[in-house]
Each structure stands twice: as C-alpha cells, then as structure tokens.
Amino acid sequence: MRTPLPKAGTVNVGLTSPSSSEQITRFGGMPSAHMSQNDSPITNPQLKYMIATESVGPFRVTGLRRAIVSLRAVLAEVPRDLPDLLALLSSAGIEVNRLQRGSRTKVSNHAWGSAIDLRVDGTLVPFGASYSLKGLDALVPYFNRAGWYWGGGYRSAGRADPMHFELGSVLMKGITR
C-alpha cells in the first residue's frame, strides 16, 4: 500500500548519509578504476577484502561485512512487532558498484556495499518516487535506531529513494583505512 513520504525532520534524526568523498578517503580510493551507471566488479583490494555474501534471515546478500552484521540484527528485531512483514521482504541489492543515479562523479553507497534496496511483497519503489510503501515505513524506526539512514528522507528535488537504506556516517566511521 502506497503512503506519502514523511515530513522533513521526522526521520533520520541525528543521522547523516556518508558522502562519496568520505567513502573514497575511508577505503583508500574508488571501488574500481572505471565507474559508470552500470554495475562492475570491485577492484579496490582493501574494499574487496571487506565484502562477503551471507544470509540475513529472509534472504542472502553480498555487501560490506559490517553492513551485513547490522542488517541481520535489524531484521531480527522486526518479527517481534511485525511478524508478517519479514516474509514479504526481499533485496534488490547491496553491493552494486556504480555511480549515483544521474551523476557522473558521485559514487553510490551501494558501490561500497553499505546500502540496501528493499522490496516489499515484490514491489520496488522507483528512485525519485514521491511515495513510500507501508512496509518500508514500518522498517524506518528499526533501521534509524541501528544507525542506518533512510533514502525516503532525502529532500533534494526528485532524489527521494524510499526503498534505500544505508549505513549512516557514524556506523561507517568504524571502518578506516
């Protein structure tokens, strides 16, 4: 069920989204030498070493180990309050090595394996949508408490990304070169 995006200041309180420049510094360079809008293999040896494929409960993901551990903990909390929601969730990807949509220079946080796009009951909310889904809305407090930034809170024109959750800057600070 579609829902309106929340008012500014009601989600992601106290959280920030890591910038491309922060990530490049943190991981000692770009994820790969040639970045584009299309997924390509990670070639940065430091980052590549930190990527794993593991189960997070309802599905398997490939991403930054720290993101996987945190995601698994977030999803483990959901059934206590929302027992039917977990079975409806699926991943549209964590580690997708590409630039941000519409950019020729900014690296997507998916390229670092630190962001996930979620489907609810097979439904994927497109990038730039002016709405969310009831199931995604229900997940926001769990992710925010764990330090994840929700893309539905992006306020730049046309940049809302309600299916997108990423490790916030504070969680990323523990990962250094």
pLDDT along the chain (177 residues), means of 10: 91 94 91 94 95 96 96 97 96 94 90 97 93 96 97 82 95 73
116 and 67 Cβ atoms separated by less than 8 Å: yes
pTM value is 0.94
- pLDDT score of 176: 56
- pLDDT score of 159: 81
d(CA 115, CA 170): 14
- pLDDT score of 121: 97
The hierarchical CATH code for the domain 2-173 is 3.30.1380
- pLDDT score of 97: 96
